[in-house]
A and B are shown apart, each in its own frame.
Chain A
Amino acid sequence: MTGMMGEMAERMPASAEAGALLRDFGSWMASEQKRIFLLCQRMLQDAEEADSATQDAFLKAYQALKKANGPEVEDASRWITRIAVNTCLDRLRSRKWQFWRRRPASEDEAAILDLTPETGPDAEERIFARQIGSRIAAALNALSARQRAVFTLRHFEDRTLEEIADILKLDVGTVKAHMFRAVSKLRQELRDLYSGRGERKGGVA
């Protein structure tokens, strides 16, 4: 992406260059924004904080691109994912000290996330999906920040372990270790998800 923006910048005077950068940035941001917001929402489990983290991530990206010797970005999607994940990790770490924090009311989150209506032939499936989805979301709180990042990138974005390692700047073995622990901690929810037992919360052999 910087390649494209860089080529443009070479042909333009400074003021036009800034305008062009902002325009290019705007259209790219619009294409990635929803995914990044949902990623932050899934990692932070808080719509308001996810909104703020998404803004921070794009602001950091813009500031990096604006620099004359900005980063050479091969995969813009992966790059913004890395910025967003790191922003969320910082927030998750600082949460440890914020004992006064409370989760926003669920109706506030629902106002932002307009979930699809529960009508139609597969309404039952949707109800199940919502139940198990909530359970998985709640269980994510039991994971460490890195485990949560690793699991979220795989579960929701279907990233390969190599991609996750690249995003988090870890080696694949470490990612595997985090993933294994995350899956172990979420075992019951995942069993219920993959077997279709939405309501069941008891142990399964």
Chain B
Amino acid sequence: MSPRHWTDDDLINAIYGVGPGDRHLEECAECRSRWIAMRARRTLVTAEPEVSNDFLAAQRRSIYQRIEREGWRGRRLAPAFVALLALLLALIVYRPATAPAPSEDLLSPDARQLTSDIYGMEDNPEPEAIQAIHALFEPE
């Protein structure tokens, strides 16, 4: 047996499982009875407070609603997910075809000029008419 009795702090530590490591409590009847009395005091503050049945019932209802919502969310999201997948697949697979240039003999000279201007704009976005204006400002 330890030479001295345990202090209150030792007994408090023992209540929480971190008391002195020796077997003093098993061997010292006095300390053990103090320890038992102290443990009994704890029940004063750890007694479960009443929680109203209405509150618990409302909480259960909320849980059931959330369980239901989770189920529905999964079912509702499934078609949206499939549609999104299809859209992504379509974007990957789809290649826009380039429009063929119109055959020249089908066009009148004016239309041919217009076509040539439009295709020319792909290389040079400035219309030809602008070149005359630019020429006015060019250094001599």
Q: Do A and B come from one complex?
A: yes
Chain A residues close to B by CB (< 8 Å)? 22, 26, 29-30, 33-35, 37-38, 51, 54-55, 58-59, 62-63, 112-116, 125, 128-129, 132-133, 136, 151, 154-156, 158, 160-161, 176, 179-180, 182-183, 187, 190-191, 193-196
In order of increasing CB-CB distance, the 8 nearest A-B pairs are A129-B44, A133-B45, A194-B38, A161-B17, A114-B50, A180-B18, A114-B52, A129-B45
Partner of A183, one of B13, B44, B48, B66: B13
Residues of A within 8 A of B18 (CB): 176, 179-180, 183
A191 x B63 contact (CB < 8 A): no
In the docked arrangement, what's the CA distance between A29 and B67, Å?
A: 13
Pull 24 A–B residue pairs with CB atoms less than 8 Å apart, ordered by A. A29-B63, A30-B56, A33-B56, A35-B48, A37-B59, A38-B49, A38-B51, A51-B59, A55-B63, A62-B63, A113-B49, A113-B50, A114-B52, A128-B44, A129-B44, A129-B47, A151-B16, A156-B46, A160-B17, A179-B18, A183-B16, A187-B9, A194-B8, A195-B8
Q: How many residues in B have their beta carbons less than 8 Å from beta carbons of A? A: 31
Q: How many angstroms from the CA of A196 to the CA of B34 in the assembled complex?
A: 13
Chain B 47-70, CB-CB to A under 8 Å as 1, else 0, gives 111111001100110111011001
CB of A196 to closest CB in B, whole Å: 7
Complexed CA–CA distance, A129 and B45 (Å): 5
B11 near A: Cβ within 8 Å? yes
CB-CB nearest in chain A for B40: A194
Cβ-defined contact, A59 with B66, below 8 A = yes
Given B15, B60, B70, which contacts A30 in the complex, CB threshold below 8 Å? B60
CB < 8 Å: which of B45, B49, B60, B67 contacts A116?
B49
A89 to B123 alpha-carbon distance, docked (Å):
64
Please, which residue of chain B has its CB at the minimum distance from the CB of A125?
B44
